[in-house]
Amino acid sequence: MKFAPITDRLMNLGSDKWTLHFRTRELKAKGEPVIELTIGEPDLTPDREVLDALVSSLYSGRIKYSYGRGEPDTLEAIAKKYTKARGYQVDVENVICFPGTQTAIFATILGLTDENNSILVGDPYYATYEGLIASTGAKRISVPLKQEHGFRMQASDLEREIREDSRLLLLNNPNNPTGSVLSKEEIQEICRVCEKHDLWILADEVYENLVYEGEFYSPLMEENYRDRIISVASVSKTYGVPGFRSGWAVGPKEFCSHLVPLAETMLFGGVPFIADATAFALNSTSDFVDRMGSSYFHRAKLIVEALAPSNKIKPFLPSSGMFILVDVTETGMDGEEFAWKLLETEKVAVMPGNSFGKNAASFVRLSLTVEDDLLVEACHRIRSFVQTQD
C-alpha cells in the first residue's frame, strides 16, 4: 500500500517521544509505586467558577456548530487580553481560535512554509516541535541554546544558522523544557535579525503567565516588527485545564485572513461550551495562575535543595514554567539511559532530555506538578540511584 510522504516524515516523531511516559502509566496501572514526573499536567484544581461556566454553557445548549475563526465572545476576550498585555489595540480580526497551542502552531507553519523552506528553532525545544516542522516538509534548523547563556537564544547564534531558504523562527519564550525567559533586549536583538533576513516570528508564549523570575516581554510589544509576528497560546497551563484544548493565534490581519480558510478546512470551529468557558477564564480576575506559579517555583527550589548533596547531578533552576532540567553528565550516562534505569530501579519517571533536542541529551526533565512530599521522595530515590552507579 502507498502512503503520503507526510506519514514517513512524521514516523517516530509523534507519541514515540513519550515512550517512557506510557511505560510509566502501564506500571502505575499494575499498582507499581511510581512517582510520575514526566508531563506537565497541573495538579492544582482549576477555579470552580471556570468549570461552572463550562457546565452552564453545556446545559444551555451550546453544543451546535461554531464559527471557523472562533466564537465571537472568545475572540473578543482574547483581543481584550492582548490589547491590555501588549500595549496596543488588538482587534478580533487579529485573532483565530484553535483547539490548543499545538494546532495553532501546526496551522501557522503550514500556512507560512513548505518543503522549499527551513524553520529555525532553539534547541532544547518542546518535544512536538520536531514533528510539527517535519509535517510541512520544511527543514528544521537548530539554534543552540547554550547553558552559559542560561539557555536563552542569542541573536548572534540565530543569525549564524540562518540560510537562504529560511522562512520562519519558532521562538518558545518562556522556554520548555529549560524554563528560561528572554529579556527585553534579547527579544529586540532577535527581532532585528529576523527583520534583516525577512523571517516570520512564531512566538509560542503559552507559559507567559508562569514567569516567576524576571519579566516577560513579547515580540508583539515591539511596534516596528508586528507585521511579521504571530503569537500563540492557550488556557491549558494558565488556568490548569489542558484537556480543554482551547488556544489561539494572534497576528497581523492579513495573516489571519489568509489562515482562516486553512483553519476552517482543518476543523471549522471549536466546541462552543469550551469556548464560553475560555472567554470566562480570560475575563476573570482570579489569582489562580499566581498561586500556581508560586507553587512551581517553590517546588523547583525544593528539588535544587534536595539534590544538592549529590555531586553527580546538577539541577538548573528555571525562571518560569512547570519543569526543571537536571544535568546527569557526571553519572557517565546520557539522559535516555539515566531515565530508563531510574524508572526500572527506583520507580521514578522523568523525561529523557533527548526528547527535547540534541542540546538536552545530557539532561533529564522533571515535572513540578506533584505534591512537595512526593517531589522530596523522588529526589531521595534519584540520589540513591546515583550512589549505586558509583
Residue 384 is predicted with a pLDDT of 94
Cell numbers found for residue 68: 471557523
Residue 18 pLDDT greater than 90, yes or no:
no
Burial-class residue 340 by CB neighbours within 10 Å (0-12, 13-18, 19+).
Answer: middle
Q: If pLDDT is split at 50, 70 and 90, which confidence band does 389 have? A: confident
Residue 237 is predicted with a pLDDT of 86
Residue 144 is predicted with a pLDDT of 97
Per residue in 82-131, pLDDT (tens digit) is 999 999 999 999 999 999 999 999 999 999 999 999 999 999 999 999 99
Per residue in 194-253, pLDDT (tens digit) is 999 999 999 999 999 999 988 899 999 999 999 999 999 999 988 889 889 999 999 999
Tell me the CA end-to-end span of the chain in Å, nearest whole number. 51
The rounded mean pLDDT for the chain is: 94
138 neighbors 114 (Cβ within 8 angstroms): yes
Q: What is the mean pLDDT of residues 17-35?
A: 90
Q: If pLDDT is split at 50, 70 and 90, which confidence band does 285 have? A: confident
Residue 132 is predicted with a pLDDT of 94
Residue 390 is predicted with a pLDDT of 67
Residue 3 is predicted with a pLDDT of 87
Percent share of the chain, pLDDT over 70:
99
Domains of the chain plus CATH, in order, are 5-45+288-388 (3.90.1150.10), 48-283 (3.40.640.10)
Cell numbers found for residue 85: 498585555
Cα distances (angstroms) measured from residue 54 to each of 64, 208, 214, 370: 15, 24, 34, 26
Residue 343 is predicted with a pLDDT of 94
Residue 14 is predicted with a pLDDT of 66
Per DSSP, what are the bridge partners of residue 164? none
Q: What is the mean pLDDT of residues 288-299?
A: 92
Residue 190 is predicted with a pLDDT of 98
Q: If pLDDT is split at 50, 70 and 90, which confidence band does 43 have? A: confident
Cell numbers found for residue 293: 506559579
Residue 212 backbone zone (phi > 0: left; psi -120 to 50: alpha; other: beta): alpha
Per residue in 366-377, pLDDT (tens digit) is 999 999 999 999
Per residue in 326-380, pLDDT (tens digit) is 999 999 999 999 999 999 999 999 999 999 999 999 999 999 999 999 999 999 9
Q: If pLDDT is split at 50, 70 and 90, which confidence band does 6 have? A: confident
Cell numbers found for residue 92: 478580533
Percent share of the chain, pLDDT over 90:
83
Residue 12 pLDDT greater than 80, yes or no:
no
Give the per-residue SS3 of the chain: CCCCHHHHHCCCCCHHHHHHHHHHHHHHHCCCCCEEECCCCCCCCCCHHHHHHHHHHHHCCCCCCCCCCCCHHHHHHHHHHHHHHHCCCCCHHHEEEECCHHHHHHHHHHHHCCCCCEEEEEECCCCCHHHHHHHHCCEEEEEECCHHHCCCCCHHHHHHHCCCCEEEEEEECCCCCCCCCCCHHHHHHHHHHHHHCCCEEEEECCCHHHECCCCCCCHHHCHHHHHHEEEEEECCCCCCCHHHCCEEEECCHHHHHHHHHHHHHHCCCCCHHHHHHHHHHHHCCCCHHHHHHHHHHHHHHHHHHHHCCCCCCEEECCCECCEEEEECHHHCCCHHHHHHHHHHHHCEEEEEHHHHCHHHCCEEEEECCCCHHHHHHHHHHHHHHHHHCC
Please give the Cα distance from 105 to 53 (Å, whole number). Answer: 27
Q: Report pTM.
A: 0.94
Among residues 110, 129, 286, which one has the least CA distance to residue 206? 129
Please give the Cα distance from 282 to 84 (Å, whole number). Answer: 12
